[in-house]
A and B are shown apart, each in its own frame.
Chain A
Amino acid sequence: MIVSAIITLKKDVLDPQGKVIHQTLEGMGFKDVNEVRQGKYFEIDVNENDPTKAKGIVEDMCKKLLANLVIENYKIIETQ
């Protein structure tokens, strides 16, 4: 099954790319933006049909490689 993981920067970590995107959006006329934070999205096809086990495998990947827990949080979503 395919499991997705979203990696986002923790609140107190500076995100200069997000800031620049925010400024650009404002420049384009999107005036209602409070903040933009940029993250990463992964779709991982795991050879496992049990959703709990599949999520567990991807969670282990997040902890060990996909996210750096000093600066990032991860969220796991089961897609199909």
Chain B
Amino acid sequence: MKSSVITFPGSNCDRDMDVALNKFGFKNKMVWHNDHELPKSDLVVLPGGFSYGDYLRCGSMASKSKIMHSVINFAKSGGLVMGICNGFQILVESGLLPGVLLRNRYLEFICKNVYVKIDNKQNPYFKNLDKEVFEFHIAHNEGNYFCTKDQLKEIEANNQVAVYYCNDEGKTEDLFNPNGSIKNIAGIFNKEKNVLGMMPHPERMIDQSLSGEDGSLFFKNLINNLK
């Protein structure tokens, strides 16, 4: 399986993602934002970080970079595109995903492990995962998912919510909402479920000696789903 990770100026989770993808069997290539063409890929990842210093709105500049034409075409033809953290912000700014990520509700940068619930498994990312509650890391200042009422209706009707913030038992109450996101939304899909954006970082949970291995479960399952 071939993957590509896009590096924008200011990306800082691109190498972590490269390590994670290679560890679980992907042949990963790093792609510079100024390139025009994506290499042949089964999965394209937009990594976390602070592309363009978060100027104007997080992800807004990166969403207009040269490589994004190719990424948008790839996504529109059904290719798998996953955006983590800043990558999620870039996906909403590019129009591939609905909504927007606002400043966290209490205006603080949040950096901690959280529990997230994944019960939407009719998609290539989460199909065959054998549990629902995962411990992932979040680190963001703008992760407060927002969309219009009409968008929310459509998102729910199409089963596009991918990941919810929750507690260790999978309860998705406001108490376990770190940033004020509508309905505890931590990640969403496009209608077709080939584009996934989420704030939590699975690539930071791939080694017991770092902070846990729930990310390993995700990546192992993902590559198996794509084979």
Contact = CB atoms under 8 A, between A and B. Distances in A.
B82 interface: no
Interface in B107-158: 107, 144, 146-148, 151
A17 interface: yes
A15 to B, nearest CB: 9
Interface in B88-105: 93, 98-100, 102-103, 105
Interface of A: 13-14, 16-17, 20, 65-66, 68, 70-71
Interface stretch (B7-15, B56-64, B215-223): B56-64
B146 A13 contact: yes
B180 interface: yes
Given A65-B56, A66-B56, A17 B103 contact: yes
Contacts of B151: 70
B102 A71 contact: yes
Given A65-B56, A66-B56, A68-B60, A17 B146 contact: no
- The interface residues of chain B, by DSSP majority, are classed as loop
Nearest to A16: B107
Contacts of B102: 13-14, 71
Contacts of B64: 65
A18 to B, nearest CB: 11
Nearest to A13: B146
B18 to A, nearest CB: 30
A66 B93 CA distance: 11
Contacts of B144: 14
Nearest to B144: A14
B100 A68 contact: yes
Contacts of A66: 56
Among all A-B residue pairs, the 8 with the closest Cβ atoms: A70-B100, A16-B107, A71-B100, A68-B100, A68-B57, A16-B103, A16-B105, A70-B148
B93 A68 contact: yes
28 contacts: A13-B102, A14-B102, A14-B105, A14-B144, A14-B146, A14-B180, A16-B103, A16-B105, A16-B106, A16-B107, A17-B103, A17-B107, A20-B107, A65-B56, A65-B60, A65-B64, A66-B56, A68-B57, A68-B60, A68-B93, A68-B100, A70-B98, A70-B99, A70-B146, A70-B147, A70-B148, A71-B102, A71-B146
A27 B106 CA distance: 19
Nearest to B63: A65
Nearest to B93: A68
A43 to B, nearest CB: 15
